[in-house]
Amino acid sequence: MTNNEESLDVWGFKDTSFRINPKGHVELSGTRYELSGQELPNLFPWVRDVMGIDLNPFETTPLSYPPCLPEPIINQKFVDDLQTALQQDQISFDANFRLRHGHGHTLYDMYAIKNGGLKRIPDVVVFPSKEEEVILLVEAALRHNVCLIPFGGGTCVTEALRCPENENRMIVSVDMKKMNKILWIDKVNHMACIEAGAVGRDIMEELKKQGFTMGHEPDSVEFSTLGGWIATNASGMKKNKYGNIEDLVLDMRAVTPAGKLTRTAVAPRESVGIDPKRLFFGSEGSLGIITSAVVKIFPLPEVQRYGSIVFPDFEKGVSFLYELMQETKPPASVRLVDNPQFQFSLALKNKPKGFKVAKSQLEKFFVTKLKGFDPKKMVACTLVFEGKKEEVASQEKVVYRIAKKHNGLKAGAENGKRGYQLTFSIAYIRDFILKHYILAESFETSVLWSKLLQLCAKTKQRVLEEHQKRNLPGKPFISCRVTQVYETGVCVYFYFGFYFKGVSNPMQAFAEIEHAAREEILRQGGSLSHHHGVGKLRQDFLPTIKSEASLDWIRKAKETIDPNNIFGCGNQLLGGS
């Protein structure tokens, strides 16, 4: 049986991590992923070359975990009510557990917990197992004036789980993991009612047993929860076929300081006035606790096939994506990486052996010599096709025909599958390279087709300029990829990192450069976020993108629903100390 225990101090499962073997090569421990157990001799040499640094695999930065933690603030009357409402194993004052519930997975969080700690963390963690217990918790919080912060999978990358440092009330982290059941499945109407604490990987597994899928696969699907998806207004890698979270949720139940939000029935679509549940999409824990949702489900696809295409440059890849969206319904997942990310994926390959050596050399000769692709410009697109056999066959035919018009070359199903699956294993790299003096993080946006190329170019240039301005060592790594496509535009992920050995305050430099990159994104017409949300990390930009009347409307909604700021996480400039 697989041990699914998660790490407290880094991303992912406890049995999986990147490490240096005695040869000085990188390898991924465990057996979960296609990359697991493979030796990656090209990774560190590639990093040295790209970043212009002398990287010693055996030299690591001193990190300290766990840090010293602040003493808990105890509201004894509330604790007495807790012990009446919940079982003993539903209440935890464990210090390290409290720490884990006081942060998400931004680089800032990971750096802070290994370099001095957090000034404020939850004072207690509670685990309700049913909606009635959530109601009791909220009622007790109102009686005794304590602060509640909902906790799903803890994967957020916006500092949404950081506790306001000046919060003097007792802070209670409400961990929803015990509310993880699929309450019912309606196979006729293709619906399921699922508790908010259910984790993505478990939802997929349980629905699969019944012949269905929800189709929602964010990068964090192994750890994030249904409630978290709604609270952050999430998007998945297969949204082309199944939709984003707002397309999938038909109804939800939530507990607020003003009472329960419930409905008498679920319908395909309604026009019944203002819908309170819509406020919970993107609410980030500031209005109440989502307890369950009714979602659309789909029969498992008859076939699933992977594919990949290489293009001579990023511009050709983008023109392919644009025509694809104008002409046909795209495959379940279509993702285009730029050249730096393409090179990065090659660096994550182990050395081919036997027949694969000749095959690799032949493929390289064909692409670079016969077709004239420049290795320093070429890019790759990975594809996932899902549906009935005839549907998938038709999609493949159209996709590859359009790709050919834009000088694209089919690169095979194996590369497509590898590219898609890499999403899950490379998530472990950021915390690994932090040990080797490299700060790195991703950030995303959405942008219109007409502004896409300029936004990518200008944002990269801005990062380079900001890095040079601070006289930081080596060269920064900055790359992008298109991860989701729409009729009107795309979602773009940027990946940024720099070497910080000898830098006196590396996180300040990183924060300033990331802030500048976000300024540039907004200047070029990009959104503040596509699916990560706002939290505390991006809230200072809200007055830039929303009118004062819009911000005031949201503030008044918060004040009406939660006048005592019981849900005082302080995200999006709503409440908090």
Active site residues: 493
- Name residue 478's amino acid: I
**DSSP H or E segment with residue 522:** helix 506-523
Tokens of 510: 């990183």
Asked if residue 282 lies in contact with residue 369, where contact means CB atoms within 8 angstroms, the answer is no
Q: How many CB atoms lie within 10 A of CB 147?
A: 28
Tokens for 474, please give them.
């080596």
Compute the distance between CA of residue 261 and CA of residue 427 in angstroms, rounded to an integer: 36
Extract long-range pairs of 47-55: CB within 8 Å, 24+ residues apart.
47/347, 47/433, 47/438, 50/340, 50/343, 50/475, 50/477, 51/438, 51/474, 51/475, 51/476, 51/477, 51/497, 51/498, 51/499, 52/474, 52/475, 53/473, 53/474, 53/499, 55/436, 55/437, 55/499
Strands (E), 26-145: 26-28, 39-40, 91-92, 124-126
Left, alpha or beta for 251 (phi > 0: left; psi -120 to 50: alpha)? beta
| CB of 7 closer than 8 Å to CB of 14 | yes
d(C-alpha 422, C-alpha 418), whole Å: 6
Which residue, among 141, 75, 127, 124, has the nearest Cα to 566 in the 3D structure?
Answer: 141
Place of tokens 């590369």: 415
Amino acid at 454: Q
CA-based nearest residue to 127, from 91, 88, 94: 91
How big is the chain, counted in residues?
577
Residue 188 near residue 163, CB atoms below 8 Å: no
Angle made by CA atoms 414, 51, 524, in degrees to the nearest 5: 80
Strand partners, 385: 305
Report H helices in 243-289: 245-248
